[in-house]
Amino acid sequence: MIVVTGGAGFIGSNVVRELNNRGHDDVVVVDDMTDGRKFVNLVGCNLADYFDKDDFLGRLKSGALGKIDAIFHQGACAVTTEWNGRYVLETNYRYSVDVLDFCLENAVPLIYASSAAVYGASTTFNENDPSAERPLNVYGYSKLLFDQHVRRRSAEALAPIVGLRYFNVYGPGEAHKGSMASVALHLHEQVGATGEARLFEGSGGYAAGEQRRDFVYVGDVAAVNLWFYEQRRVSGVFNVGTGASATFNDVANAVIAWHGKGAIRYIPFPAELTSRYQSFTEADIGALRAAGYTAPFRDVRAGVKAYLDAFGQHA
């Protein structure tokens, strides 16, 4: 069986769909369905079983689940504004260490979600440069802490252990995330409701709407996950982005183009975000390419169109 933690969530459900698309129906999803709205992400998926995240670890450690072919560990508290450090570190770090312990002890491949939030205040985004790891929130720190733990224990691994530092992911399956959903979704809803796409005024030396992020389509992210699973020969921590940043204006214009109407309105930059906001991200994907991944990534215009075209199917 193949286990996907966070499998009812945004990226996790897209990994489940891609596994199904490639003929795998032996997929076990692990998640916390306290927010039952996430069920829509699994409609149409073929699952072998489902376990609550609090039940899963006990079953995993006892061997009750039987033979596991691989674990895609996508589950996490992904709320970047959450400041309950005990909760975030227990959920994102301690739980991940328990999963890693099992994989190391049983030679099970592990592909896990890290985050570009580990770079925080940095202006360079290279996985092999510790000086670039400058998280701005406890979420980013929890991801960095686990990356560091994995690196310290890499010599123990008898099967691949892969960490994927996701940049700004957008696409189908994120509607349940509320304020944590991508700017593409928020702008789509704004333009549909009011005809206006609202962006922040200038900040961090950038003009209005010209702050830049590496926006990566979730379908491309799922493809990277499946590539590492199928290769079974590569370990390490890798950036997952397009390798080219785009402005928030670019995203807004792509959304407006899809709607065939709308205009951008700039709103004041929130004072509380001044010291905690990434005005620029751009993945260095040299390590990913060197590992052998050659597939292209969609740019914002193509990705937003694919997203909004699919929106009615599973938002």
Catalytic residue list: 139, 177
d(CA 151, CA 123): 23
Hey, how many other C-beta atoms are within 10 angstroms of the C-beta on 58? Answer: 10
| Whether the Cβ atoms of residue 77 and residue 88 lie closer than 8 Å to each other | yes
- Of 177, 185, 214, the closest CA to residue 82 belongs to 177
d(CA 304, CA 298): 9
d(CA 255, CA 259): 6
Provide the b/e sequence for 123-137 (b: ≥16 CB within 10 Å): eebbbeeeebbbbbb
